[in-house]
Amino acid sequence: MPPEPILIIGIGNPSRGDDALGPMLIEQLEALNLPGVELLTDFQLQVEFALDLQGRKQVIVVDASLDAVPPFAFTPVTAEQDSSYSSHAMSPSAVLHAYQQLYGPPPPAFVLAIRGSAFELGEGLSEAASTNLASALGWLCNRLMETWSKSGADQSDFGGGRHHHRCRE
Amino acid sequence: MSQSVISNHLETAPHPETLRRVAIEPISRVEGHGKVTLLLDEDDHVQQVRLHIVEFRGFEKFIQGRPYWEIPVMVQRLCGICPVSHHLAASKALDQIVGAHTVTPTADKLRRLMHYGQILQSHALHFFHLSSPDLLFGFGSEMAQRNIVGVAAAYPEVARQGILLRKYGQEVIRHTAGKRVHGTGSVPGGVNKNLSLAERDELLKDIYQMIGWARGAVHLTRHLFEQNLAEYNAFGRFKAHTLSLIRADGAMDLYHGGLRARDMDGKTIFDHVNYDHYWEQISEEVKSWSYMKFPFLKALGPETGWYRVGPLARVAQCDFIPTPLADKERQEFIAYDAGNPAGATLGYHWARMIEMLHAAEAIKELLHDDDLQGTDLVVQGERQERGVGMIEAPRGTLIHHYRVDENDQVIRANLIVSTTHNNQAMNEAVRQVALQYLDGRKLTEGLLNHIEVAVRAFDPCLSCATHALGKMPLQVELLDAEGNQIDQITRGSCDRPTSNC
């Protein structure tokens, strides 16, 4: 039976400046074709994402942030009730809380908040955000490999040296 | 039931400088937001109420200069809440640009399937997750309970069905648009894929369950009305004209039709009007205190020509719904309590669930249609310079209007989104609620939530209208006449200035 995958969700609007950080990180991860990793993108989180968390070893939500210490912050997130229910976009904590109500304890979850600064419609990624994205991608790749190593998966199952090298670029 | 007359007298108070100002201000992540301001006299009586939505004016800049064939994909990025509606409205406008006055049956039905998927998922989210906490627990109930988690604890099956209905609608979109988000399924002149038999069979597997749950949701909204009839009928009630697309035979058609407008007594103002020249029927007024324009019917003028759009307008003014279960529910809705819910602000919820049932039934019918597996996907004709596309989006009528030059570049774009059509109607609802619940009383979070309940009934999409991210948490400041803060209440603030909160 294959091990449970790690789900990585990139959040943001690709056409709104640094809001594209989440989707762009997913796009770059897709190119690496990492095994054991599932990728999703959307404009925002909503309650049905709770369904996507089922049977996942870990969940990582990647998003642009205006207050993360550059280049990025990686923090665990727990199921908590908040008032994002009243909006068209839920917080990661609220999605985990919805999962907990439906299915019980959710998988371990983290937020990778990449520092951005400009969010204008029609603008591209800022120079600083591009640098932060590269740092976040390299760090995340290494973390994914470490996670799989600790779980006993063969490094070769993870793509061996080729992906390791590309992650460090 | 008596209905409140138009309350324009509350739009501008005679001597605002003598009044206390209360601002109910959603906190938005980037720029653009909406807020409600109330002016109260020394006895806390309401003298002026305004809903301000900061309309984003960057659509044109974003679109102009782009080749027209990029537009159906690009416009999805205007709004993360209803990207499919923009995708389809733009495609319909660009059909005209490429001379495709009639698309193929496969293209027409695949687009309709995508659209009904969008209606289903959007209406499910709105009712089960944004509104049901207020409706099930009460508008002024304990805030800690008044959320989807509270619903999941007290009504676990309702919460579960809401999530699965929403998910099903998104699966319809994924199979028809090609992707879960940023789909490319609809193109100028048609579609770029059909629905495979495997995709059809996957969707068919659950559709009967979805119809059953959607029908249950209609009955739940009816039950809520029955339980609270007097309050629901009166809450934020006002009289308004209505506007929507309508099929040639008078049936509800959320994808295509002519324009129908009826006055507040149900009499026809115009009917089956070709929307290609919508500007001959609809104009927009600018008011100095609001960034968002106020559309009105030109025949009636700006003072009295405003109208409401969306589920309540559509269900109330169609002659019938062309799917049996939804039409039966429509008939009962129209007949219930002498038709009072069909004129009530909270009637939006009941009407929205009838539309959700219609969407589920329409999806079932389409999935049994072999045209979805056709291979004739795109048509083209004589190239045109101007194209108008109109669609009934989940929140109401959506207009896309483009002009394209000889180099295939868009040189002019005009979009009127559903929330803009409902601008004056939402203002009226808020004014009525302020008079009914806030007038002469000390403000509390529960009372202020009544304002939010009134606005939420319309399901406004602040992402479209303002390109904020659709949040409606409240920050309330109580100021004296000099603008000094006396008190404040904050709830729903998000400490992560990121798009996921």
Domains of chain B and CATH, by start: 12-54+424-491 (no CATH), 59-372+383-420 (1.10.645.10)
Note whether B500 contacts A85, CB cutoff 8 Å: no
Contacts of B498 in chain A (CB under 8 A): 11, 63-66, 113
Pair B307, B296: CB distance under 8 Å: yes
The terminus-to-terminus CA distance of chain A in angstroms comes to 33
Confidence category of residue B144, pLDDT binned at 50, 70, 90? low
Q: What is the mean pLDDT of residues B414-426?
A: 92
Give pTM, 2 decimals.
Answer: 0.88
- The residue of chain A nearest to residue B56, with distances taken between CA atoms, is A121
Residue to substitute from B134, B418, B499, interface A, most A β-carbons within 10 A: B499
Cα B332–chain centre separation: 23
User: Beta partners for B154?
Assistant: none
Q: Minimum mean pLDDT among B1-15, B189-203, B349-363, B414-428: which range?
A: B1-15
> Within B228-323, where are the H helices?
229-234, 311-317
- For B250, phi then psi, to 5°, come to 90, 0
Q: Are B33 and B54 in contact (CB under 8 A)?
A: yes
- Are B149 and A51 a contacting pair at CB < 8 A? no
Are A81 and B83 within 8 A, CB to CB? no
Higher pLDDT, B466 or B110: B110
The answer to whether the Cβ–Cβ distance between B148 and A47 falls below 8 Å is yes
Residue B499: the pLDDT is 30
Check CB contact under 8 Å for B463 and A15. no
Give the pLDDT mean for B387-402.
Answer: 97
Work out the minimum CA distance from B227 to partner chain A, whole angstroms: 24
- Mean of the per-residue pLDDT values of chain B: 86
Mean pLDDT for B470-480 is 44
From B194-198, B291-295, B429-433, B448-452, the region with the lowest mean pLDDT: B448-452
User: Poorest-confidence range of B64-68, B124-128, B209-213, B445-449?
Assistant: B445-449
Q: Identify from B61, B85, B476, B498 which residue to disrupt to test chain A contact, counting A C-beta atoms within 10 A and taking the largest count.
A: B498
Are B472 and B278 spatial neighbours (Cβ–Cβ below 8 Å)? no
Which domains are delineated in chain A? 6-168 (3.40.50.1450)
Contacts of B395 in chain A (CB under 8 A): none
Minimal-distance CA residue of chain A relative to B164 = A48
Identify the three-state secondary structure at position B443: coil
Sequence-distant (6+) residues with CB within 8 A of A55 are A4
* Contact yes or no for A42 and B181 at CB 8 A: yes
DSSP 8-state assignment for residue B29? S
Q: Kindly state the tokens that stand for B243.
A: 């506007």
Cα B100 to Cα B115: distance, rounded to the nearest angstrom? 19
- Buried-state track B467-497, b at ≥16 Cβ within 10 A, e below 16: bbbbbbbbbbbbbeeeeeeeeeeebbebebb
